[in-house]
Structure 1
Amino acid sequence: MAGWNYGDVLEAVARAHPSRTALIHGGRRMDWAEFDQRAARLAAVLEAGGLRPGDVVAEYMRNGTAYLETFFAASKAALAPMNTNYRYVEDELEQIWTDADVKAVVYDAEFRDRVAAVRERLPGVRVWLETGAPYEEALAAQEPRPHGGGRPDSLVLIYTGGTTGRPKGVMWRQDDLLSMLNAQSTRAIPDRAAPEVVAEHLAGRREIRSLIASPLMHGAGLFYALSALSGAGTVVTVPGARFSAEALLDALAEERVQGLSIVGDAFARPLLDALDAEPRRWDLSALRVIFSSGAIWSGPVKEGLLRHIPKARLVDGLGSSEASSIGSTVSVPGDVAGTASFRVSERGAVLHDDGTLATPGDGRIGRLAVSGWLPVGYLNDPAKSAEVFVEAAGRRWSVPGDLAVLEADGRIKLLGRGSSCINTGGEKVFAEEVEEAVKTYPGIVDAAVLGVPDERLGAKVVAFVVTDGREADAGGLQAHVRARLAGYKVPRRIARVDSLDRLANGKLDHRLLARRAERLWGTARA
């Protein structure tokens, strides 16, 4: 087969397991036959609205069944599903929907006012579909679209970034994305196989339930969900506008979930706190793997979770929307991987500025890179595409900007983004490295490190910390960090805050932190 796509593959799953549960969202359960039919009806709604192959469908929703129905529907009709950060406000929505030339927007009812405010600015959008009653009425009014019609060259758009600049649309061909995720799966299906071969292969496969706690609007959550669905699994999502560790643990126990997707300590630490507080409340004996990507997952938190879930493997993935699967670590009881240290994948490497690949133990700082299945580039941004997607050592690489060193044992030591590098007195300080040292101090539950201007040093290192209620002992914390890192990396100023107000994907909002630092210590360099 020349290529494959999610429309055909998910239709094959539905043929193989029509009565198996596909989606669970709170009390809502949907089997594969219903999932397939509803997506086919939605595809018909979009086509009836004037959309044609290649047109973009924006998904402006929280986690739930409609999000995955919309992705499936777009794939059936050779449309391009596109994520939309549900924290965006009117100007940001207008910017990315104009950039992508969006033709349809499927949005949650809670965002009705924001959508109303931008509709007149976006005359090219042909279909506006609100979840709830309007969505259900639209589906009921259409006959299901016939099977087939998906194309391997159809795009999946992942808009990423925005904390240090305008969001950029990463363009993945469905064929490449499917093959890349399938190659990583422990339950892979025959690569690029015809739909009938996929259905036959999956016919005897047992059900695996995966809970997606990370937002589907970000690459990590969406990719995990797509892997689960294409393997004939069940995807569980948790209702609610705010993350609740207790609600997530309830769902894990009630649904006997085997796989969980989170985003680093932002999710893992509240889970650990809840388990520490009530260790016998939840039966998590079915849980076999917790996967994290997109933010730091610290060693002490992994150790704590394994005390409660000793049968689980903790998989910490290193990648991004434009450079998935650079490396990973696996932690089990008695063998917990260190923080920000990863085993490089067959596709991953550290690339030096001179175009050569790092060798283990060379000690040189380079940029993380990955080859193999890659995005086409950034939508409408050839300059950025040429900067990130490069030719080196006889291959095409994605090099999004993370800095790292390839250690003697073959592991990657992640140092952070160049944008988070602080130059203090001529020395380079990587914020993530310092944040992890800070978070090992007793009572510190979260931390953010950045630089502020200094007349003598050019920039000085400062930190915001969140504690478990204890006062932040600046002197003790500085001594603790100094025992682990070089003196120039120790924060000169430390402020305790109630929250870092992380973004929905668990990452730091550097613009917000810069404004806080400016009020305290002068203009910040986030």
Structure 2
Amino acid sequence: MDANPSPVFNHADLFEGIADRLPDRVALACDGEHLTFRELDEVANRLAHALLAAGVQPGQHVGMQLYNGVPYVVALIATMKIRAVPVNVNYRYVEAELEYLYGDSDIVALLYDVEFDARVANVAPVQEKLRTLIAVGGASAVPGAVEYDALLAGQPAGRGFGPRREDDTYIVYTGGTTGMPKGVMWDTKDILFAFANPTYPAPETPQGWIDHAANSGTLTMMPVAPLMHGAAQVAIWIAWWMGATVVFTRKFDGHGVWKTIETEKVNSLTITGDAMAIPMADALEKAVKEGNGYDLSSLFAYVSTGAIFTGTVRDRIQELLPNVMVLDRFGSTESGSTAQATTGSSPEKGLRFAPDVENIAVLDDGLEIVQPGSGVMGQVARTGFIARGYYKDEAKTAKTFPTTPDGRRWLLTGDIATVEEDGTIAVFGRGSQTINTGGEKVFPEEVEAVLKGHPAVFDAVVTGIPDERFGYRVAAVVQLRDPDVAREDLDAHCRKELSGYKVPRTYAFVPEMKRSPAGKADYRWAKEIAQGS
């Protein structure tokens, strides 16, 4: 294995350094398959050489249309080894959406699961830049595609790659639940520090990161979200910088997650909000009731990232896991991890977060920092280690990443908030989803949380639809546990917790809620459903 004498702040450099120091420690486990750091490094080297042989150059983009699994992680590492750029592709996208994403992202190579053959076959041939297709999981019917295993078989396991840079690009495409997805561009150094574990100071040198991982004790961490979601990707790197083993399941299933925790002795679990917590809670309650509970004694942390728990769901998880820390983390694809929810914080009671770092603030409409206790509302913002911008969208980049008169470049997250006297940030909701009804502002997150507090409600998404009198009215798309519950019951429940103008005036009941694979609400879909009702 080639030595890496002078690493820089780059994911590939740091991974290779850890692989050299911890070659026999298990780096990755997925559905019973286990790879040590040495084994994972060697497989990634083979794919990296194969991509180079196919003509992939530094700075070019490689797409990954895959379920969770070893090949996805291998592809992430291999791409960065050759200074190419990984691009996550939502595996739920239909052909029209894939045509947009393939073209917008300018991918020149694509790894895809053979389950997606039909979609890839209909979209890939019309993409002029996409010339390399790698099928994972068996033979593919797509013309020109090469099987993943066959491609790796003839490639060397050693490294022999050129030096990397700290400003190499890392791209994460957002989910596109409020518009077309956008590629969030990062410098590798910035994304490393933005998503660094806040429980200890980030080492000041690349070698310090490697040393920290090598000197850490054994730990097993499990991101539950799909790897096509940024939160799951960064969770891999966070875990490895702690010398930990990362555990995945190919697809989300409540019972499957609990079984994996039991089998792999998982210590820390990350999910994305209620959409994952609720089916997990249902599965655990059912198993306990039937006398088939799981051994979860290894688990000490249950963390939500990317989506916030409602209070009732978090309390339910805590009751099921009384000896486990249940935590909410606050952040975004563009900002990194920024804050942790304070005790008692929830959408229905008020979201309050304690910032992790000093470069978090709330900026008013004039981009001035909101003073604690002033009551002025603005947007949560971060400076310092933030994303570079949006791929091929200069206008959105300029709007989201303004520079203030003092020369500091900020990210405006879109989250509407104020700062309390003790420095705690009180978040009211996402500005882009705020409903203006008769001049009153309604934050959907608050109403959703109250609805989900009703025992008959499995899930709810709240949006605004046009209203002749008020401009917009509050509308709720609801998935029920009990189909016999009437709208009047939900209305009465909401009026106990909410002001009248916040109570939904329109309800649309659906058999199944549409969310992203990571559990985030699809507000475009919800608006269409609500308007149709």
Q: Using a 3 Å threshold, how does the CA distance of structure 1 residues 482 and 89 change in structure 2: closer, same or farther?
A: same
Structure 2 SS opposite 1:123? coil
Amino acid aligned to 2:277 = A
Q: Distance between the aligned counterparts of 2:336 and 2:206, measured in 1?
A: 23
Contact 1:326 1:369 in 2 (8 A): no
1:189, distance to aligned residue in structure 2 (A)? 6.2
Moved more, 160-169 or 57-66: 160-169
| Alignment partner, residue 365 of structure 1 | 377
Deviation sequence 1:41-89 (CA, Å, 0-9, x none): 1100011111111111111111111111111111111111111111112
Moved more, 116-125 or 146-155: 146-155
Moved more, 260-269 or 480-489: 480-489
Q: Distance between the aligned counterparts of 1:198 and 1:420, measured in 2?
A: 39
Q: Distance between the aligned counterparts of 1:198 and 1:481, measured in 2?
A: 49
| Alignment partner, residue 104 of structure 1 | 109
- Decide which of 49, 61, 68 is 1:63's aligned counterpart: 68
Q: Distance between the aligned counterparts of 1:361 and 1:65, measured in 2?
A: 49
Does residue 115 (structure 1) correspond to residue 116 (structure 2)? The answer is: no
1:3, distance to aligned residue in structure 2 (A)? 4.2
Structure 2 SS opposite 1:4? coil
Q: Distance between the aligned counterparts of 2:128 and 2:455, measured in 1?
A: 55
| Alignment partner, residue 160 of structure 2 | 146
Amino acid aligned to 1:228 = A
| Alignment partner, residue 276 of structure 2 | 267
| Alignment partner, residue 277 of structure 1 | 286
What is the correspondence of 1:124-523 to structure 2 with a 5 Å cutoff?
124-133=129-138, 134-144=147-157, 145-146=159-160, 149-182=163-196, 184-186=197-199, 190-194=203-207, 198-240=209-251, 243-279=252-288, 281-329=293-341, 336-339=344-347, 340-346=351-357, 347-392=359-404, 394=406, 395-469=408-482, 471-520=484-533
Amino acid aligned to 2:170 = V
Q: Distance between the aligned counterparts of 2:94 and 2:458, measured in 1?
A: 30
Q: Distance between the aligned counterparts of 1:67 and 1:291, measured in 2?
A: 23
Q: Distance between the aligned counterparts of 2:154 and 2:435, measured in 1?
A: 57
| Alignment partner, residue 76 of structure 1 | 81
Structure 1 SS opposite 2:58? coil
Contact 1:299 1:337 in 2 (8 A): yes
Q: Using a 3 Å threshold, how does the CA distance of structure 1 residues 326 and 457 change in structure 2: closer, same or farther?
A: same
| Alignment partner, residue 524 of structure 1 | none
Amino acid aligned to 1:246 = H
Structure 1 residue runs of 5 or longer lacking an equivalent are 521-526
Q: Distance between the aligned counterparts of 1:503 and 1:465, measured in 2?
A: 16
Deviation sequence 1:251-278 (CA, Å, 0-9, x none): 0111100111111000011111222223
Moved more, 340-349 or 368-377: 340-349
Q: Using a 3 Å threshold, how does the CA distance of structure 1 residues 147 and 52 change in structure 2: closer, same or farther?
A: closer
How does the TM-score come out when normalised to structure 1? 0.92
1:326, distance to aligned residue in structure 2 (A)? 3.0
Deviation sequence 1:392-447 (CA, Å, 0-9, x none): 37322111322223334433332222231111111111111111122222322211
Q: Using a 3 Å threshold, how does the CA distance of structure 1 residues 203 and 518 change in structure 2: closer, same or farther?
A: closer
> How many pairs does the alignment contain?
511
Q: Distance between the aligned counterparts of 1:446 and 1:359, measured in 2?
A: 37
Contact 1:302 1:314 in 2 (8 A): yes
CA RMSD, 1 decimal: 2.0
How does the TM-score come out when normalised to structure 2? 0.91
Contact 1:188 1:231 in 2 (8 A): no
Structure 1 SS opposite 2:130? coil
Q: Distance between the aligned counterparts of 1:3 and 1:519, measured in 2?
A: 54
Contact 2:461 2:523 in 1 (8 A): no
Contact 1:208 1:233 in 2 (8 A): yes
Q: Using a 3 Å threshold, how does the CA distance of structure 1 residues 462 and 79 change in structure 2: closer, same or farther?
A: same
Amino acid aligned to 1:337 = S
1:478, distance to aligned residue in structure 2 (A)? 2.4
Deviation sequence 1:283-303 (CA, Å, 0-9, x none): 111111122122231112212
Deviation sequence 1:3-49 (CA, Å, 0-9, x none): 41011111111111111111111121111111000001110001111
Deviation sequence 1:85-120 (CA, Å, 0-9, x none): 111122322222222221211111111221111222
Structure 2 residue runs of 5 or longer lacking an equivalent are 1-5, 139-146
- Decide which of 80, 89, 101 is 2:94's aligned counterpart: 89
